A and B are shown apart, each in its own frame.
Chain A
Amino acid sequence: MKWTRPPSPMMVWAARDVLRRPLAGLLLFAGLSATVALVGVLLLYHQSVARTCTNLLNEAPSVVVRRVNAGGWTPIPMAEGLDRAAQVPGVLRPRARVWGVVLSEDGSGLTMVGRTTPAHWPKTVPSPEPGQVVLGPGLGKGGDPDHVTLRGRIDLTLEIVGRLPVDSGLAAHDVAVVNEDDARRLLGLASGQASDLALDVFRAEEVDAVCRELADVFPWAVQISTRQSRMELCLGTVAQRSSIGLAAFVPALLAVVCLVMATGILGNRRRRDMGLLKALGWTGMDIFKMQAYGLGLFVAAGGGVGLVTAYGLLFFPGMTGWLNTQYGWSGPAMLLAPTPAGLLGAFGMTLLLVAAPFMVAGLWAARDAVLADPEDLLQD
């Protein structure tokens, strides 16, 4: 159909047929779009959270080595640790991390990261010097806009010199970046000590063997965690939370059943109209086409509104606030990152689950009218 030309006559007839019952049409449209939106959110939610986490975890260090003793975690001597880690074949870029969980002014925990490496720091955000801090997008709301006090081994009041961008929220929502020396003071670490070591491996397949060698190369007991184990934990948690949300599939499926039944009942009530059209010379195929176009109009309108609503509820800023309640966030709304394949898959599956039964029910209801004699239809 060219845009400059009117739709085919049968499409216009179908639209006019829909407009003959505006209230029923409006209810059907509202029901269809709400059902599509609900199913779309359910399908998009899990895969977009899981995909976002997977993408972020792929940027994380392959292996983290923490020194432990009878009391649990203990600081690791930085120079010796890096030197020993570098001896293991297959280990790439061993680096020390100075980080920990400290308390903010209101008593809530936040992740404090000491900036140890000058590489990769973007020019748009100022690098924290001693006495300065850069806050994540979820921190520092409502308090002193210029200073923040962090409570670790000591209380340290720092000047806020910048904020991480809102788009960094899923990585650094409640992260405060401070200078390395300030981080050590807050954590009670001596100079030359680090919280743990992060490193990459040359081949991901070798990570188990590298971990065994790493455990042997250190003179202390160490706890080694791999990206793979973190990914399993993260995706397992996401799946667990999503499965709770999948309980909403029950009302969604009930809504689909109601829609299908309503479509069938409406179709059966129109047998006399179809008989009239047949008596005027319409063929069975004409009636079938009109019915299909009418249902297509509902699917296009309801499906379009429903899918955009589902996308908006998960990805449009300002509409994603409900996601915060899922994970106990405060501050700016969680911003998930969709993927084209995930979007297309979820949208396709949603239409298959909702629109396809709706179309089949409507066409099935018209089947009798298409095949029946006009006189029989007019007598109903």
Chain B
Amino acid sequence: MTFFRIGHSNPSTRMPLGLCTARWLWMIVLSGCLLASGMVAGHYALRARVRGQTAGRWMKTLELTMPALHPSGSPLRFPESALAAVDLRLIPGDMDLDGYDAVITARLKQRVIGKDRP
């Protein structure tokens, strides 16, 4: 019982709490660490891991293209729908709408749309 012999040989008289309390402090801290590790590991294994899979499955089922971090309508939510409409005020006066549509379509094909916008 070296443990208790050292305790009784303690020369200090200022120690308000006994060695037993000190021993229990270690036990509480180490038990707390084990409990915390178990809690985190258990939560991950039982809940958090499946959580990611569930969201992924619904992403696939609904054919969604981006996570729902941003509100609907935001260009960050669905960047594929973020192409701005062409400003129709830029239509030259002598060009009919069908002709303009063909020009713009050709430009879109070449992916140069936007460079000539004000």
A residues with CB within 8 A of B: 6-7, 9, 11-13, 15-16, 18-20, 49, 52-53, 55-61, 64, 66, 68-73, 95, 97, 99, 101, 108-111, 113, 117, 120-122, 136, 164-165, 167-175, 177, 196, 198, 215, 220-221, 223, 225, 227, 229-230, 233-234, 237-238, 273, 276, 280, 297, 300-301, 304-305, 307-308, 311, 315-317, 327-328, 335, 337-338, 340, 343
- Would you call A171 and B64 a contact (CB within 8 A)? yes
Q: Which residues on the B side are within 8 Å of A225 (C-beta)? A: 65, 79-80
Which residue of the partner chain B has the closest CB to A66?
B80
Per DSSP, chain B at the interface is helix
**With A19-B16, A60-B66 in contact, do A337 and B55 touch (Cβ < 8 Å)?**
yes
Q: Please name 13 further chain A to chain B contacts, defined as beta carbons within 8 Å, in addition to the given A16-B19, A19-B21, A175-B62, sorted by A numbering.
A: A7-B26, A12-B26, A49-B69, A53-B67, A73-B81, A173-B68, A174-B72, A196-B80, A238-B69, A280-B11, A297-B29, A328-B71, A343-B40
**In the complex the two chains form, is A170's CB within 8 Å of B65's CB?**
no
Once the chains are docked, how many angstroms separate the CA of A99 from the CA of B25? 60
A121 contacts which chain B residues (CB < 8 A)? 61
Q: Please report the C-alpha to C-alpha distance between residue A20 and residue B78 in the assembled complex, in whole angstroms.
A: 60
Asked if A72 and B85 make an inter-chain contact with CB atoms under 8 angstroms apart, the answer reads yes
B residues whose Cβ falls under 8 Å from a Cβ of A:
2-3, 6-7, 11-12, 14-19, 21-23, 25-27, 29-30, 32-33, 36-37, 39-40, 43-44, 47-52, 54-73, 76-81, 83-86, 88, 100-101, 104-106, 108-109
Question: How many angstroms from the CA of A273 to the CA of B11 in the assembled complex?
Answer: 11
B76–A72 CB distance below 8 A: no
Say which residue of B30, B72, B80, B104 sits within 8 Å of A111 (CB atoms): B72
**Chain B residues whose CB sits within 8 angstroms of the CB of A335 once the complex forms:** 51, 55
A109 — which chain B residues lie within 8 A by C-beta? 71-73
